[in-house]
């Protein structure tokens, strides 16, 4: 099971994004507190950290001894989901899909999504659309 957490002092919207990301990928959310990377990696070999720096958000995926994957998110929109829930991440960016392969369950959606986007369904009928910086 993948562990998802945030930076140490996250904004409420970053915390909500991280919790719903954990739900979408079937991982567990852990409150970061003062925990360092060693403590997080002792919980699981796969750790996702969601943070915000200025006007950009960052999703970092750590997996064992491999170098981390950094995904920079320009913006994200939360909408009400209509219809059935879809588990996992759906991306229109093939480089993001390749980078996440073997770490997080991500599906290449191709032309179904415009631009460089990641879409996933969260709790409480929420659907997230993240605009990824190419």
Whether the per-residue pLDDT at 112 is higher than 80: the answer is no
Is this prediction's pTM over 0.75? yes
Instruction: Dump pLDDT digits (tens) for 22-66.
Output: 999 999 999 998 888 889 888 888 999 999 998 999 999 998 888
Spell 57-83 as b/e; 16+ CB within 10 A means b.
bbbebbbeeeeebebebeebeeeebee
Among 60, 62, 45, which Cα is nearest to 1's? 45
For 80, half-sphere exposure in the C-beta direction (CA atoms, 13 angstrom radius) is 1
Q: Residue 11: what pLDDT? A: 92
């Amino acid at each position: 099971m993948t562990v998802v957490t945030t930076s140490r002092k996250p904004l409420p919207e970053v915390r909500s994004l991280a919790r719903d990301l954990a739900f979408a990928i079937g991982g567990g959310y852990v409150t970061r507190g003062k925990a360092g990377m060693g403590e997080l990696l002792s919980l699981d070999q796969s750790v996702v950290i969601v943070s915000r720096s200025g006007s950009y958000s960052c999703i970092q995926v750590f997996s064992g001894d491999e170098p981390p994957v950094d995904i920079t998110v320009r913006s994200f929109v939360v909408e009400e989901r209509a219809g059935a829930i879809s588990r996992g991440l759906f991306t229109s960016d093939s480089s993001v899909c390749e980078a996440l392969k073997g770490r997080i369950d991500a599906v290449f959606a191709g032309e179904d999504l415009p631009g460089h986007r990641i879409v996933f369904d969260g709790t409480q009928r929420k659907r997230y659309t993240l605009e990824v910086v190419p």
